Amino acid sequence: AQSVAQPEDQVNVAEGNPLTVKCTYSVSGNPYLFWYVQYPNRGLQFLLKYITGDNLVKGSYGFEAEFNKSQTSFHLKKPSALVSDSALYFCAVRDPASHRGGYQKVTFGTGTKLQVIP
Amino acid sequence: DADVTQTPRNRITKTGKRIMLECSQTKGHDRMYWYRQDPGLGLQLIYYSFDVKDINKGEISDGYSVSRQAQAKFSLSLESAIPNQTALYFCATSDLTTDTQYFGPGTRLTVL
């Protein structure tokens, strides 16, 4: 069974400092990996995804994520945090090997609250 | 978010009442989903639909039902609401060629 873990409930970082939000996964095949962001009173918004190719994926709002197959990780990063980056971040994984009637289930992590301190 | 709309945005109801949450999308996607979000649990899939005639149960479908009235509309019903169905409910869509899901703004449901 596939799973995804976000080991930190909350991450605090000073404005202007680099940030990292951690994600590890477990799948039987090669994973499709996603990051979504949720601002207060809003739905989740897509940030970036890894399907194949370059291990470093660039996404919206200056975010990037690095796929590390040996460590089964897909950490979200940004070189310089902004106060407006404060939000809830979700990692998600899809296992192409989990075919079921054409739907390959997407499993979401429990979310990490990012707090950027001015 | 404007491409996927949900009504109502907030609802307070009593145990035993029937509740319907509605979702509409203008993205032209065939695939639609209903999730619930609980603090510390992430998103759990309730139902999903690949087209008007294809509806499937997700991880936590007990106590819920859905209706796909058209490609653009997917409603979620709680036939007899109970307090542990108090949660934030999200509708989402995706197309056939990408894996990206597009979420509505959510409905906050409270069952007293």
Residue A99 is predicted with a pLDDT of 60
- pLDDT band for position B85 (cuts 50, 70, 90): very high
DSSP run (H or E) holding A33: strand A32-38
Cβ neighbours of residue A106 under 8 Å, at least 6 residues apart?
A: A34, A92, A93, A94, B45, B99, B101
pLDDT at B76 over 80: yes
3-state SS assignment for residue A85:
helix
Neighbouring residues of B34: CB distance < 8 A, sequence distance ≥ 6: B21, B23, B45, B46, B47, B48, B58, B64, B66, B74, B76, B89, B90, B91, B92
Taking the C-alpha atoms of residue A34 and residue A36, their distance in angstroms, rounded to an integer, is 7
Name the minimum distance, in Å, from the CA of A81 to any CA of chain B.
24
**pLDDT, mean over chain B:** 92
In this structure, how many other beta carbons lie within 10 angstroms of the beta carbon of residue B75?
Answer: 17
Q: Which of residues 15-74 of A touch B (CB under 8 A)?
A: 32, 34, 36, 41-46, 49, 51
Environment class of B62 (CB within 10 Å of its CB; exposed 0-12, middle 13-18, buried 19+): exposed
Model confidence over B45-59: pLDDT tens digits?
A: 999 998 899 999 998
Strands A112-117 and A10-14, by their bridges, are: parallel
What does the pLDDT read at residue A38?
A: 93
Looking at chain B, which residue has its C-alpha nearest residue A101?
B56
Mean pLDDT in consecutive groups of 10 residues from the start of chain A, 118 residues: 91 97 92 93 91 91 95 97 96 76 79 96
Compute the distance between CA of residue B89 and CA of residue B46 in angstroms, rounded to an integer: 10
CA distances from B16 to A2, A56, B11 (A): 35, 50, 14
